[in-house]
Amino acid sequence: MNAPARALHDTPRSDWTHAEIAALFALPFPELMFRAATVHRAHFDPTQVQISTLISIKTGGCPEDCSYCTQSVSNPTGLKATKLMQVEQVLAEARAAREAGASRFCMGAAWRNPKDKDLDAVCAMVEGVKALGMESCVTLGMLTGPQAVRLKQAGLDYYNHNLDTSPEYYRHVITTRSYQDRLDTLEHVREAGIAVCCGGIVGMGESEQDRIGLIHALATLPVHPESVPINALVGEDTRAVESSEKLDPLDFVRTIAVARIAMPKSMVRLSAGRQEMSEETQALCFLAGANSIFYGPKLLTTPNPLADSDRLLFRKLGLTPMALPCES
Ligand code: SF4
Q: Specify the ligand 1 atom closest to the Cα of 109.
A: 7
Which residues are CB-neighbours of 88 under 8 A, at least 6 positions away? none
Calculate how far, in angstroms, residue 68's C-alpha sits from the geometric centre of ligand 1: 9
In Å, how far are 110, 197, 237 from 61, measured between CA atoms?
7, 24, 15
Please provide the average confidence, as pLDDT, over all residues in the chain.
Answer: 89
pLDDT tens string 122-157: 999 999 999 999 999 999 999 999 999 999 999 999
Dihedrals phi, psi of 287, to nearest 5 degrees: -65, -35
Instruction: Report the predicted TM-score, pTM, of the whole model to 2 decimal places.
Output: 0.89
Which atom of ligand 1 lies closest to the CA of 177?
3
**Among 55, 56, 58, 64, residue to substitute to test ligand 1 (most atoms within 8 Å of Cβ):** 64
How many angstroms separate the alpha carbon of residue 320 from the centre of ligand 1? 32
User: So which residues are the catalytic ones?
Assistant: 62, 66, 69, 106, 137, 197, 269
In whole angstroms, give the CA distance from residue 94 to residue 130. 10
What is the pLDDT confidence band of residue 296, given thresholds at 50, 70 and 90?
A: low
* Ligand 1 atom at shortest distance from the alpha carbon of 75: 5
Query: Residue of the nearest CA to atom 7 in ligand 1?
Result: 110
How many helices and strands, by DSSP H and E, does the chain display?
12, 12
- pLDDT level of residue 6 (50, 70, 90 thresholds): very low
Look at ligand 1, atom 2, and give the residue with the nearest C-alpha: 110
Question: In the predicted model, is pLDDT for residue 243 greater than 80?
Answer: no
Q: Which residues contact 193 (CB under 8 A, 6 or more apart)?
A: 152
- 293 CA → ligand 1 middle, Å: 21
Choice among 25-29, 100-104, 252-256 with the minimum mean pLDDT: 100-104
Q: Which atom of ligand 1 is nearest to the CA of 112?
A: 3
* Ligand 1 shell residues, CB under 6 Å: 62, 64, 66, 69, 71-72, 110, 141
Of the pLDDT bands very low, low, confident and very high (cuts 50, 70, 90), residue 300 is low
- Assign 316 to helix, strand or coil: helix
Q: Tell which wins on pLDDT, 117 or 160.
A: 160
